[in-house]
C-alpha cells in the first residue's frame, strides 16, 4: 500500500486541496469579519463548489461513504453544535460537509492553503495563552449565537484538545456561556485499526491513506435546551451535555481537562512522577476560580508574600485571607492537602510551589527557582526544605536527599544554593532516578505518570 495506493491518494488529495484554494481565496477578498453580507449567486456557487471539492478530497483519502444519523438543526434553533470526541485531523469532515464556523487556534490562519480554507468559513480565532483574547472569544461566540440565525452555526469541540477516544474529558464552558440551545454531535470511527492524533502527523496521514477504507459515522443528537439553572451555570450546562454525549458514545466520563494534559505529559529532569495528587489539586484550584490568576506576575507576588511568613502556619481562615477568597468546601479541601501534621496549619509556600507546578509543568526549573526565593536564607535552602519542595513538584512522598548531598563536592551537607543545584541537574539528566529516594521509587527503568522510561 505504501508504494502503490499511498502516493496516488496523496497526489489526488493534494491536488483537490489546491483546487479549493482559489475558490476560498476569492470568496474571502474584501469580506468583513463582523458583518454577514447577502449571499449572491456567485457566493452560492463557490460554496457548492467547495463542498463538492472537499467531499471528493475525503473520498480520495479513503472516506468513501460517511454515515450520518439524525438531522442537523437549523441555526435559528441551535446556533451552536458541540462535537466530541476530538481525536483526529479528520474531525474536519463534518465541518467541510456543513461549512459551519469553528472555534480554532489563531495559528491555524497561517497554515499554507488550509489556512485560507479555514478563513472561508468565518472561524472564531482564539489565542490560548492570552487571557484577554479568551474574553473576546467568548464575547464573539455570544454575538454570533444570539444573531437569530443570521450567522452560520458554530461547530465547537468543547474538549479543547485531542484525546484517544477512550473517554470524554471535561468540556470547556465557551460553547455554553451564551445559555442558548445546543445540538450535540458525536463522531465515531468504527475502523478495526484506529488512528488518533497521539501518533505523529506524517504517521497519521500515511496510515490513513494506506487503509483501504476509513469508516466514519456522524450522529446529530436531539437539541439540548438549557434550564434556568444551567443558563446561570455554564459549567453545569456543559456537564449535563457531556453526560448525554458520553451515553450516546458508550464512553466513560474522565474528569480531566485540556490544562490537565500538560501535567500528565510533563518532561525534563524534574518531570512529575505521580500526577494523581497534582491533578486533584489542579481541579480544585480551577473550581476556586484561580486559573486565570496563575500568571507569572501573580505567582511572584504570592511568593513574596509567602516568604514574609517565614514558614509560619496558616489556618483555614488565614489561608482564605491570603488568597482573598471566602471559606468554602473547596477551599477547605485545598487547605487539607497541605496539612502535613493534621493540626490545621499549613505552610503556604507549598501551595505556591504546587500552583506553579500545575501552571507550568513543562518549565519545572522556573518553579524550582521560585521555590528557592521563598525558602532560601542567605542564598541557601536547607536540606529538609528542599525535600518538601521536591515532594510537591514530583508528586511523591518521603523524599530523601542523602545521595544528592553526598555527591556535591565541597558542599555543606545541610544546605544548598540554587546555582549549585541547577548546575548539578544540568550535568545529570537522570537526576531524579539516580540521586533522589522516595516512597515507591522505581529503580529499574523508572516510569512516570506519562509512561516515559529512563531511556526516553
User: Quick one: 11 and 126 in the same domain?
Assistant: yes
Residue 202 lies in a domain: yes
Which string of b and e fits 209-248 if b means at least 16 CB within 10 Å? bebeebbbebbbbeebebeeebbebbbbbbbbbbeebbeb
Residue 346: pLDDT above 70?
yes
What pLDDT does 291 receive? 60
What confidence score (pLDDT) does residue 28 get?
81
Per-residue pLDDT band for 14 (boundaries 50, 70, 90) equals very high
Which sign does the torsion angle of CA 326, 331, 332, 336 carry? Answer: negative
According to the model, what pLDDT value does residue 409 have? 64
Give the CATH number, domain containing residue 122: 3.40.1130
Whether residues 403 and 281 fall in one domain: yes
Same domain, 331 and 278: yes
- How many structural domains does the chain have? 2
pTM of the complete model: 0.72
Q: Residue 269: which pLDDT band, with cuts at 50, 70 and 90?
A: confident
pLDDT at 72 over 90: yes
* Domain shared by 328 and 199, yes or no: no
* Whether residues 164 and 276 fall in one domain: no
Which of the pair, 205 or 36, is modelled with greater confidence? 205
**Of 255, 290, 318, the domain-final residue:** 255
- In sequence order, the 6+-apart residues with CB closer than 8 A to the CB of 395 are 272, 273, 274, 275, 276, 277, 278, 449
Q: How many CB atoms lie within 10 A of CB 336?
A: 12
Helix axis angle, 348-359 to 383-394, nearest 10°:
40
Lowest pLDDT segment from 175-184, 390-399, 442-451: 442-451
Best mean pLDDT range from 88-92, 110-114, 178-182: 178-182
Query: Does residue 197 sit in the same domain as residue 278?
Result: no
Q: What is the mean pLDDT of residues 331-360?
A: 88
Residues 314, 225 share a domain: no
Grid coordinates representing 8? 496516488
Q: Which span out of 38-42, 134-138, 374-378 was modeled with the highest average pLDDT?
A: 374-378
Give the mean model confidence (pLDDT) for residues 81-105: 89
The answer to whether residues 228 and 307 belong to one domain is no
Is the pLDDT at 266 greater than 80? The verdict is no
Assess whether pLDDT exceeds 60 at residue 454. no
Is residue 247 over pLDDT 90?
yes
Domain-located, residue 88: yes
In the predicted model, is pLDDT for residue 376 greater than 60?
Answer: yes
Provide the pLDDT for residue 410: 56
Residue 448, domain member (yes or no): no
Same domain, 102 and 248: yes
User: Would you say residue 450 has pLDDT above 80?
Assistant: no
Question: DSSP class of residue 157?
Answer: -
Residue 158 included in any domain: yes
More confident residue, 177 or 441: 177
Among the candidates 204, 229, 255, a domain finishes at 255
Q: Grid coordinates representing 14?
A: 493534494
Q: Look at residues 155, 165, 215 and name the one whose alpha carbon lies nearest to residue 185.
A: 155
Pick the closest to residue 35 from 154, 143, 115 (CA basis).
Answer: 143
Give the number of other CB atoms < 10 A from CB of residue 31. Answer: 13
Do both 307 and 227 map to the same domain? Answer: no
Q: What is the pLDDT of residue 441?
A: 67
Q: What is the mean pLDDT of the chain?
A: 84
pLDDT at 418 over 50: yes
Which of 129, 156, 159 lies closest to 141 in space, CA to CA? 156
Whether 81 contacts 147, CB under 8 Å: no
What is the share, in percent, of the chain residues with pLDDT greater than 90? 31
pLDDT of 453 over the 60 cut = no
**Alpha-carbon span 410 to 412, nearest angstrom:** 7
Q: Give residue 51's pLDDT band: very low, low, confident or very high (50, 70, 90).
A: very high
Same domain, 145 and 78: yes
Last residue of a domain, one of 255, 273, 288: 255
Percent of the chain with pLDDT over 70: 90
Of the given ranges (12-16, 234-238, 283-287), which has the lowest mean pLDDT? 283-287
Question: Which residues lie closer than 8 Å to 114 by C-beta, 6 or more apart?
Answer: 17, 108
Whether 47 is in a domain gets the answer: yes
- Whether 228 is in a domain gets the answer yes
- 260-264 average pLDDT score: 76
Among the ranges given (33-37, 75-79, 201-205, 445-449), the one the predictor scored with the smallest mean pLDDT: 445-449
- Does 387 fall in a domain? yes
| Residues 172 and 306 placed together within one structural domain of the fold | no
pLDDT classification of 228: cutoffs 50, 70, 90? very high
pLDDT in tens, 96-137: 999 999 888 777 777 888 888 888 888 888 776 555 677 788
- The verdict on residue 456 lying in a domain is no
Asked if the model's pLDDT at residue 447 lies above 50, the reply is no
Give the pLDDT confidence score for residue 64 in this predicted structure: 93
More confident position, 429 or 212: 212
CA distance 171 to 32: 31
- pLDDT confidence of residue 456: 44
User: What's the pLDDT band for 407 if we cut at 50, 70, 90?
Assistant: confident
Domain that holds residue 193: 5-255
Q: What is the pLDDT of residues 181-203, one digit of tens each?
A: 999 999 999 876 666 655 577 88
Lowest mean pLDDT among 81-90, 252-261, 430-439: 252-261
Amino acid at each position: 500500500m505504501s508504494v502503490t495506493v499511498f502516493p496516488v491518494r496523496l497526489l489526488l488529495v493534494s491536488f483537490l486541496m489546491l483546487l479549493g484554494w482559489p475558490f476560498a481565496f476569492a470568496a474571502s477578498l474584501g469580506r468583513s469579519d463582523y458583518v454577514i453580507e447577502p449571499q449572491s449567486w456567485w457566493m452560492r456557487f463557490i460554496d457548492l463548489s467547495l463542498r463538492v471539492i472537499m467531499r471528493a478530497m475525503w473520498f480520495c483519502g479513503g472516506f468513501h461513504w460517511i454515515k450520518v444519523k439524525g438531522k442537523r438543526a437549523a441555526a435559528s434553533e441551535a446556533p451552536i453544535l458541540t462535537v466530541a470526541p476530538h481525536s483526529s485531523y479528520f474531525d474536519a469532515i463534518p465541518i467541510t460537509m456543513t461549512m459551519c464556523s469553528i472555534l480554532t487556534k489563531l495559528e491555524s490562519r497561517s497554515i499554507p492553503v488550509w489556512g485560507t480554507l479555514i478563513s472561508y468559513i468565518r472561524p472564531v480565532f482564539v489565542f490560548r495563552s492570552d487571557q484577554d483574547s479568551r474574553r473576546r472569544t467568548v464575547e464573539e461566540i455570544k454575538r454570533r449565537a444570539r444573531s437569530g440565525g443570521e450567522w452560520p452555526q458554530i461547530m465547537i469541540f468543547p474538549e479543547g484538545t485531542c484525546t484517544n477516544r477512550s473517554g470524554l474529558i471535561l468540556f470547556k464552558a465557551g460553547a455554553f456561556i451564551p445559555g442558548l440551545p445546543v445540538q450535540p454531535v458525536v463522531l465515531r470511527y468504527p475502523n478495526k485499526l484506529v488512528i488518533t492524533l497521539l501518533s505523529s502527523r506524517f504517521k497519521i496521514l500515511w496510515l490513513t491513506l494506506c487503509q483501504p477504507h476509513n469508516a466514519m459515522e456522524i450522529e446529530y443528537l436531539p437539541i439540548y435546551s438549557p434550564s434556568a439553572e444551567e443558563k446561570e451555570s455554564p459549567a453545569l450546562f456543559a456537564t449535563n451535555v457531556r453526560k448525554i454525549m458520553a451515553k450516546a458514545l458508550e464512553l466513560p466520563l474522565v474528569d480531566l481537562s485540556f490544562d490537565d494534559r500538560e501535567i500528565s505529559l510533563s518532561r525534563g529532569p524534574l518531570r512529575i512522577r505521580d500526577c494523581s495528587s497534582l491533578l486533584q489539586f489542579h481541579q480544585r484550584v480551577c473550581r476556586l476560580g484561580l486559573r486565570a490568576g496563575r500568571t507569572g506576575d501573580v505567582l511572584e507576588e504570592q511568593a513574596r508574600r509567602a516568604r514574609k511568613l517565614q514558614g509560619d502556619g496558616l489556618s483555614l481562615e488565614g489561608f482564605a485571607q491570603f488568597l482573598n477568597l471566602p471559606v468554602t468546601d473547596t477551599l477547605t479541601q485545598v487547605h487539607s492537602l497541605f496539612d502535613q501534621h493534621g493540626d490545621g496549619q499549613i505552610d503556604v509556600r507549598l501551595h505556591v510551589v504546587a500552583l506553579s507546578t500545575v501552571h507550568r509543568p513543562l518549565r519545572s526549573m522556573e518553579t524550582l527557582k521560585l521555590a528557592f526565593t521563598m525558602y532560601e536564607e542567605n542564598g541557601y535552602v536547607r536540606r529538609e526544605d528542599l525535600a518538601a519542595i521536591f515532594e510537591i513538584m514530583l508528586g511523591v512522598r518521603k523524599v530523601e536527599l542523602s545521595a544528592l548531598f553526598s555527591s556535591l563536592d565541597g558542599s555543606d551537607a545541610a544546605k544548598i544554593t540554587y546555582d549549585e543545584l541547577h548546575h548539578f541537574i544540568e550535568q545529570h539528566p537522570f537526576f531524579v532516578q539516580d540521586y533522589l529516594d522516595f516512597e515507591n521509587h522505581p529503580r529499574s527503568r523508572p516510569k512516570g505518570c506519562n509512561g516515559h522510561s529512563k531511556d526516553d
